[in-house]
Structure 1
Amino acid sequence: MRLNDLDERIVHALADDARRSYADIGALVGLSAPAVKRRVDRLRAEGAITGFTVRVDPAALGWRTEGYIEIYCRPHTSPQDIRRGLERYPEVAAASTVTGEADALAQIFAADMRHFEDVLERIAGEPYVERTKSVLVLSPLLRRTTVTSTAG
């Protein structure tokens, strides 16, 4: 499914503030509140909008250390095996299979360096993991919650 310009503007308005009213979004995009609601309902039904959530600063939860772990897997490890292994760790904020030498990349939030090291060691000890490589985030420079279309 490809969003048209109006739907994309509605989605961006909701991404900025999911609690924004349909009337407020309508004023922003030039539609009535009922028209915005119909479009949002359609976008949800078609799977373009998968849900509404709250964004919480990890530091507010005591997770002040961020890093990434490159995961190099043993032969014949499936993406499902990696996912099952990583989803047990609450410290894993995101994980993806990737191109390049590593098989997967996991974003980790931890309370401190010792906690990060503990998570790294536990992931490295998973049966499907051959080796790991990690980097720590010093200062986040840019974080986006939505992708902006550049297609015309």
Structure 2
Amino acid sequence: MNTPLDKVDWALLDALQEDARLSYNELSRRVHVSAPTVAQRVRRLEAAGVIQGYHARVDPTAAGRPVIALVRMKCYGARCITVHPELLADCPEVMEVVRLTGDICSVVKVAAPTIRALEQLLERLSRYGETSSAMVLSTPIDWRPVAPPTE
């Protein structure tokens, strides 16, 4: 985005991160600008890639995937999952892959229906490099909205 985000942009982002289903009229009421201004600003934030999409947050446990784990990967070259994420395209258990610096290349967040399914996924991931996994016991901070940087 060429211009920095102003207070109205951040107010829109805050409201949309709280509830992405808000109408332009409701956003207008909440941020105290006209609905056409809200529509124009939201479209600009989308075009600039600030808003990347609108999604439902689904609880994996409630959806039948209660086995949550983080898998540290150490892989290199042509079989590296960060270079070729398509290698995991048919792995519905994979929720997120984060590329890292340091002695491991990535962390893979997975949500499996059973321990056996997790074990099978770990066997599959081991084709691409060395794995080390940790089960998630709880998530004290599940998600936070992106907030304006402090000056």
TM-score by length of 1: 0.87
RMSD value, Cα: 1.8
2:83 is aligned, of 80, 84, 91, to 80
Q: For each residue in 1:17-40, what CA deviation from the matched residue of structure 2 results, as whole angstroms up to 9, or x when unmatched?
A: 111121221222111222111111
Runs (5+) with no aligned partner, structure 1: none
* Match in the other structure for 1:18: 20
Runs (5+) with no aligned partner, structure 2: none
The residue type equivalent to 2:99 in the other structure is T
Q: For each residue in 1:21-79, what CA deviation from the matched residue of structure 2 results, as whole angstroms up to 9, or x when unmatched?
A: 21221222111222111111111122221222211111232000100100111456553
* Match in the other structure for 2:10: 8
> How many residues end up aligned between the 2 structures?
148
Change (3 A) 1:5 1:87: farther
Give structure 1 regions of 4+ aligned residues with deviation exceeding 4 angstroms: 75-78
* Match in the other structure for 1:104: 106
Whole-Å Cα distance in 2 between the matches of residues 66 and 123 of structure 1?
A: 15
Whole-Å Cα distance in 1 between the matches of residues 34 and 62 of structure 2?
A: 37
Whole-Å Cα distance in 2 between the matches of residues 28 and 115 of structure 1?
A: 45
The residue type equivalent to 2:28 in the other structure is G
Work out the percentage of aligned pairs sharing the same amino acid.
32
* Match in the other structure for 1:116: 118
* Match in the other structure for 1:35: 37
Residue 107 of structure 1 deviates from its aligned partner by: 0.3
